[in-house]
A and B are shown apart, each in its own frame.
Chain A
Amino acid sequence: MTEAIEKRDEFDVEIKGTVGKPFADDPKFESRNVDVFYGDKQAIFDVNLDIAKNEIVAMIGPSGCGKSTYLRCLNRMNDTIPICRVTGHIKLDGEDIYDKHQDPVLLRARVGMVFQKANPFPKSIYDNVAYGARLHGLTSNKTELDDLVEKSLIRAGLFKEVKDDLHKPGTGLSGGQQQRLCIARTIAVDPEVILMDEPTSALDPIATALIEELMIELSAKYTIAIVTHSMQQAARVSNRTAYFHLGKLVEVNDTDSVFTNPEHQLTENYITGRFG
């Protein structure tokens, strides 16, 4: 533990605030002075970042630098970890989501999440997609629900493959199909933001390409934040890229300039493969 802290101190000299363009004119999410602790251990240090409406922000950085932890702050998934504590302010459409009056359950319907490992429920494909709608009473009868399920599967690019098997278990699909099922399930509740935590890290290149295409399509309607290990993926899909290092947000900028002309030495080291 002391070793980790020493390392951090070493970099404290270098990381003085975030360089680049962390703020946006038309923000969906505004994070200010966000710190996250697991017990006594601090995992995120003073992150300030805006995510604009309908943009795709990619978060990159070495393993364990806190990308997932930060992403999980945005829909308060960290609440499910008892030892996890979040301080600072995160606003969604100008309202602090960590305010006492906010209900994390309702928040998660507005801010959907797709996980690293596809995690369809042990139910049929249909029931997987209908899960959120049933939970929140989004439809009033069977036809409406059928429509919603079909529409969501179409938008997730999965409908053609499964239209005859809607009542087969979702867990029987291939990895890439399962991940698209999870995306369909997420967009079925019509969220405003979709958070994706390494959604393609367990998939083959073809399935990955399908999902990347899907992300770009979805960004017309949704705001998307994606954590990725693949710099190519960040370069292909995102508008802006944020580089995290040991719990600190080092640099945020338009994706092109991050990859062609990084401002910070640490960012350059990472994207040129000197560590990570």
Chain B
Amino acid sequence: MPIKFLLITLLALLLFGYFIGRKRSLALKANNGGAKKTLHSLPKYYGFLVSLWAGIPALIILLLWTAFDTTIITSMTVSQLPEQTQQLSQDELGLLMNEIINLSQADKISDVSANDAKMLIKQTAANNFARFSHISNLAKTVLVLVMALMGLLLGLRYIRAETRARNYVETAIKLTMMGCASIAILTTFGIIFSVLLESLQFFKAVPITEFLFGTTWSPQTAIRPDQVGSSGSFGALPLFVGTLLIAFIAMLVAVPLGLMSAIYLSEYASQKVRTVVKPILEILAGIPTVVYGFFAALTVAPVIRDMGESMGFHPASESALAAGLVMGVMIIPFVSSLSDDVLSAVPQAMRDGSYGMGATKSETIKKVVIPAALPGIVAGILLAASRAIGETMIVVMAAGLAAKMTVNPMEAVTTVTVQIVTLLTGDQEFDSPKTLAAFALGLGLFMVTLILNVISLHVVRKYREQYE
């Protein structure tokens, strides 16, 4: 039975379980002369309980079976192959199995007229594979449905006056929520793990010290062994310096502007101004980064170049400054919106206390309101910083691709994210150092944002302790 029919049948069973559970519990109550306190829980909870019994074990079996059946069937097929075929290397065997699986899914399978021996082997294996799949599928269907039915019957036996169906359902709901939360966490860990593994692959080819401290980034490697070409150089320092330089410039723009606008909005602006200005500011974060990118490249960069030239520099047409300035504007709302919220949340009583001591408005803001709101402000700033570090589009368009090691904002630089993009676009060999380098860069980037987050947590906790 195809999976979707199986699922529909299962669903129908669950519904059936719900209604029969409900009905049984109602009958139980009626038997008791309809006395109010007969049942511990409302009838619907008994219905849910039966559904849960029917559904959960069956679904678990289904999940496990689906997760592992291909692996098991594959290894069974392999074990049926002739001896010398089984001796093949891992990669070749994998390739062969792919062919076999494709063959088994082809419309006509048993075209055994093929006379060459290799083809015969493949064809037999494909037939085996199809047969095993078929058996597995059948067994799965039967097992799942039997489980569901058994669960249902078991659930029905639990319909007794004293069964605390309501509490069991509560527990099931709690576990479901926990499951969802753990999926999110597990996915994160999975991503980290795979990035880590690939990075380790990379560090086998390129020593980690070279990656971290090398100052030359030119990841062009020969694609074919017979090709003449550079062997590539993977010093990522210029990329990280470039990233931090641009992020720093962006923060120089965003923190003062964002903080000042937040203070203006929460402390000085009238309610009317606030309701108009705040959403407008937040639009800044909603503009697609591509738009910011060409704004930076086509409008800001030329202005900077002209200004630089008139002051006697010879700036590049693409510069860290242009990208940083525009990025700074983009992340203003991250700082301002969050800061505005926390500033407004500082209780009026605190301000009154300060005014009552004879403090002016700006003194009150500086000495009472901002310190009280500091954890939130720091959180906003760090959020903006992570955003700046992860930004790609603006940098590609306005700061260039040249991996130059410099802190001069007038020069073209490149960033980690930009290099990841260039490494992975186009046709690539999947296990060349060039491709793997992207994972190492990703890992580095992740480390940087992780450190930022740890710092912010620390700051927030420190002030929490002190102020609450």
Contacts and interface: CB of A to CB of B under 8 A. Distances in A.
Contacts of B408: none
A122 B462 CA distance: 13
Interface stretch (B4-12, B82-90, B124-132, B366-374): B366-374
Contact of B357 (A109, A122, A123, A169): A109
Among B352, B353, B359, B467: residue with most chain A CB under 10 A:
B353
B426 interface: no
Contacts of B357: 108-109, 112, 131-132, 135, 185-186, 189
Interface string A118-130: 0111110000000
A75 B371 contact: no
Contacts of A106: 358
Contacts of B368: 121-122
Nearest to B373: A122
A186 B360 CA distance: 16
A113 B349 CA distance: 12
A77 B351 CA distance: 11
Given A122-B350, A171-B468, A115 B371 contact: no
A119 B352 contact: yes
A173 to B, nearest CB: 13
Contacts of A182: 353
Nearest to A131: B357
B361 to A, nearest CB: 9
Interface residues of A, number: 29
Contacts of B354: 121, 131
Nearest to B363: A135
Interface in B326-350: 347, 349-350
Contact of A115 (B356, B359, B360, B372): B356
Nearest to A113: B356
Given A75-B356, A131-B357, A119 B349 contact: yes
B466 interface: yes
A169 B466 contact: yes
B264 interface: no
B371 A112 contact: no
Interface string A80-111: 10100000000000000000000001111110
A77 B371 contact: no
A121 B353 contact: yes
A105 B358 CA distance: 5
B193 interface: no
Nearest to B359: A135
Nearest to B468: A171
B358 A189 contact: yes
Contact of B467 (A82, A132, A171): A171
Q: Is the interface of A mostly helix, strand, loop or mixed?
A: helix
Among B358, B372, B468: residue with most chain A CB under 10 A:
B358
A16 interface: no
B352 to A, nearest CB: 6
A119 B372 CA distance: 12
Interface in A201-254: none
A137 to B, nearest CB: 12
Contacts of A115: 349, 352-353, 356
Contacts of A186: 356-357
B313 interface: no
A160 interface: no
Contact of A108 (B347, B355, B371, B466): B355
A136 interface: yes
Given A117-B349, A119-B349, A123-B371, A169 B356 contact: no
Interface in A165-191: 169, 171, 182, 185-186, 189
Contacts of A105: 358-360
Contacts of A121: 350, 353-354, 367-368, 371-372
Contact of A135 (B350, B358, B372, B468): B358
Contacts of B349: 115, 117, 119
A119 B467 contact: no
B300 to A, nearest CB: 40
Contacts of B352: 77, 80, 113, 115, 119
B358 to A, nearest CB: 3
Contacts of A171: 467-468
A169 B462 CA distance: 12
Contacts of A123: 371
A122 B375 CA distance: 12
A80 B355 contact: yes
A105 B468 CA distance: 28
A115 B370 CA distance: 21
A109 B358 contact: yes
A117 B356 CA distance: 14
Nearest to B356: A113
Interface in B33-88: none
A119 B347 CA distance: 9
Contact of B372 (A75, A110, A122, A185): A122
Contacts of B356: 75, 77, 108, 112-113, 115, 186
A117 B350 CA distance: 10
Interface string A47-91: 000000000000000000000000000010100101000000000
A143 to B, nearest CB: 22
A113 B359 CA distance: 12
A233 B352 CA distance: 25
B363 to A, nearest CB: 6
Given A121-B371, A171-B468, A182-B353, 5 more contacts: A75-B356, A105-B358, A112-B357, A119-B350, A131-B359
28 contacts: A77-B352, A77-B356, A80-B351, A105-B360, A106-B358, A108-B355, A108-B356, A108-B357, A113-B356, A115-B349, A115-B353, A115-B356, A119-B350, A120-B353, A121-B353, A121-B354, A122-B368, A122-B467, A131-B359, A132-B358, A135-B367, A171-B467, A185-B353, A185-B357, A186-B356, A186-B357, A189-B357, A189-B358
Interface of A: 75, 77, 80, 82, 105-110, 112-113, 115, 117, 119-123, 131-132, 135-136, 169, 171, 182, 185-186, 189
Interface of B: 270, 347, 349-360, 363, 367-368, 371-372, 466-468
Please give me the 8 A-B residue pairs with the lowest Cβ-Cβ distance, nearest first.
A109-B358, A122-B467, A113-B356, A108-B358, A119-B349, A119-B353, A132-B357, A122-B372
